[in-house]
Amino acid sequence: MRIEGLTHSPSPKHHFASDNNSPVHASVLDAIVSANRGHTLAYGDDYYTERAVARIKQTFGAACEPFFVFTGTSANVLSLAALTRSYHSVICAESAHLNGAECGAPEKFTGVKLIGLRSDTGKITVADIEACLGHEGDQHHNQPKVVSLTQATDFGLCYTADEIGAISEFAHRHDLYVHMDGARIYTACAALGRSLKAMTTDVGLDVLSLGGTKNGLLGAEAVLFFKPELARDFKHIRKQGMQLASKMRFLAVQMEALLSDDLWLTNARHANLMAKTLAAELTRIPGIRITREVQTNMVYCTLPRQNIDVIREAYLFYVFDETQSEVRLVTSYDTTEADVQGFVEVATAALAAEG
């Protein structure tokens, strides 16, 4: 049946707008299909969820307590709900997704004040955090309770294990919890050559929003508590937060597939490699400037303003900063060398035509 007036095309083209836009990895779909048999108990009381929880404990350490949710925003918001009361504040980077791109959900659902710190890299330091303290016990001030780190940051940069360790040590000394938005933790671990455990459990994190959807899943994320006492009420918080899946097995098997056979690492390494290749190629084009270090799967660069539309017609991407004509190109686990070359050819031709 033909439907007139549709604005989107079903074209299977790849582009560079976001790793959210990539399809589901075939192994993940296979895992969903193989779990699609018979009746199981709902809400997580099932064999598949038990198996996935065991896999997560194997990956992150036996003490961690995982809870599956549908979205990254809910993982962040519900993590904060577990750690705070409404008079608390959360220290994060200004660029953090939870500060700028979650439509105020953290504030609405928890009541906390977010303190967004300016940072060109998206990383915050012990000194930045220390500068936010000083009103402890003062009844007029929100009380800082959580430091939230984004790994990799919204600019694609990574905190090292030492940096996270230093922040955790400082935070805990000042009665603060450490949360990590790990929507892209996989690309960070791949870039640093470190295991998921080394970058979380072993460096003192309290709670992790563990991503998935940006690295090949259909739609599954998880909240991991590294101190079981913090997880005590979370089953109620998740249900009140409308994130308790009845058909939990289908979330669970996605995460299990990602953590099995190093699929997370293969996917993330590939996305990172494609970003590095793209950046290296773009550096050679006169008129294009790479604006930020490329550590993971994001390339920020300037493009001449007049060329942006024509390149975007061939390969969709987003303009990050209109004033600087700075754009963001994101690679995914399924980005191909041909996609990179295609983008480079279109950009080269567009800039040459202009010159």
Ligand X SMILES: Cc1ncc(COP(=O)(O)O)c(C=O)c1O
- Residue placing its CB nearer to ligand X in the complex, 163 or 287: 163
- Residue placing its CB nearer to ligand X in the complex, 296 or 307: 296
In the complex, the smallest distance separating the C-beta of residue 19 from ligand X, rounded to whole angstroms, is: 8
Taking the C-alpha atoms of residue 277 and residue 280, their distance in angstroms, rounded to an integer, is 5
- Residue placing its CB nearer to ligand X in the complex, 65 or 154: 154
242 binds ligand X (CB under 6 A): no
In the complex, the smallest distance separating the C-beta of residue 96 from ligand X, rounded to whole angstroms, is: 7
295 binds ligand X (CB under 6 A): no
Judge contact between 201 and 226, C-beta under 8 A. Answer: yes
Judge contact between 222 and 76, C-beta under 8 A. Answer: no
Q: In this structure, are strands 326-330 and 318-321 parallel, antiparallel, or unpaired?
A: antiparallel
Q: Which residues have C-beta within 8 Å of that of residue 313, sequence separation ≥ 6?
A: none
Mark out the alpha helices in 141-248 (DSSP H runs).
161-173, 185-192, 234-240
- Per the DSSP assignment, residues forming a β-bridge with 318 are 328
Taking the C-alpha atoms of residue 236 and residue 310, their distance in angstroms, rounded to an integer, is 50
**Span 111-170, contacts to ligand X by CB under 6 A:** 150, 154
296 binds ligand X (CB under 6 A): no
In the complex, the smallest distance separating the C-beta of residue 148 from ligand X, rounded to whole angstroms, is: 10
Contact with ligand X (CB under 6 A) among 55, 97, 270, 312? 97
Which segment (69-77, 320-328, 329-337, 342-350) binds ligand X by CB under 6 A?
Answer: 69-77
In the complex, the smallest distance separating the C-beta of residue 248 from ligand X, rounded to whole angstroms, is: 17
- Residue placing its CB nearer to ligand X in the complex, 91 or 288: 91
In the complex, the smallest distance separating the C-beta of residue 134 from ligand X, rounded to whole angstroms, is: 29
In what helix (H) or strand (E) does residue 321 lie, and over which residues does it extend?
strand 318-321
**What is the three-class DSSP state of 332?**
coil
Largest CA distance in the chain: 66
213 binds ligand X (CB under 6 A): yes
Contact with ligand X (CB under 6 A) among 80, 146, 171, 183? 183
Q: At what angle do helices 263-283 and 249-259 cross, to 10 degrees?
A: 60
Contact residues toward ligand X (CB under 6 A) are: 20, 71-73, 76, 97, 150, 154, 181, 183, 213
